[in-house]
Amino acid sequence: MNTRKRTTWGKWWYKFSRNPLPTVGLFIVCGIVFCALFAPWVAPYPTHAGPYVNYDEANQPPSLVHLFGTDAFGRDILSRVFFAFRSSLLMGMVVLAIVVSVGVTLGLVAGYFKESWLDVLIMRITDIFLSVPSLILALAITSVLKPNLTNAMIAVSVMWWPWYAR
């Protein structure tokens, strides 16, 4: 049985690796995840991710010392990008978990109680959310809430769940 699984994975990898674009994409995603997980050790200047100011090195162009250059406060941009990968991946995973679970659950309930008042209620609420442009809805939600990562995740989740419910 174990040999059969290896054979199945081997066949899958053979078919997958024949096309170069998905293979390159997989390596890019794995590289981003690696940089996000090990940012304190991979980043050239890990102290620049937090509160750091060095006006002597402000607004420098890309060079061998700072591969992406520095910002207006003298912080290394590459180091900040590595640490920003963490927030981006966290937001993507949490939003996807919320959106899929809420949307699929509401869609299943509406489908199970088809042609009942509950189906009509869920689908009309879904239609209301779909009728408002997503960006306007997200901006309205973020204008009411404090600007932080949790509220940004809520705003993005609210604008995407109807697509999974539908």
130-148: pLDDT as tens digits? 998 988 888 888 889 998 8
First to last CA, the chain: 40
Give the predicted TM-score (pTM) of the model.
0.77
Helix, strand or coil, per DSSP, at residue 52: coil
pLDDT digit string, tens, across residues 23-47: 999 999 999 999 999 999 999 999 9
Q: Does the residue 24 lie in any domain? A: no
Q: Is the pLDDT at 3 greater than 70, yes or no?
A: no
- State how far the Cα of 112 lies from the Cα of 19, in Å rounded to an integer: 41
What domain range is 68 assigned to?
38-165
Q: Does the residue 133 lie in any domain? A: yes
Q: Break the chain down into helix, strand, coil percent, rounded to 5.
A: 75, 0, 25
Q: Does the residue 17 lie in any domain? A: no
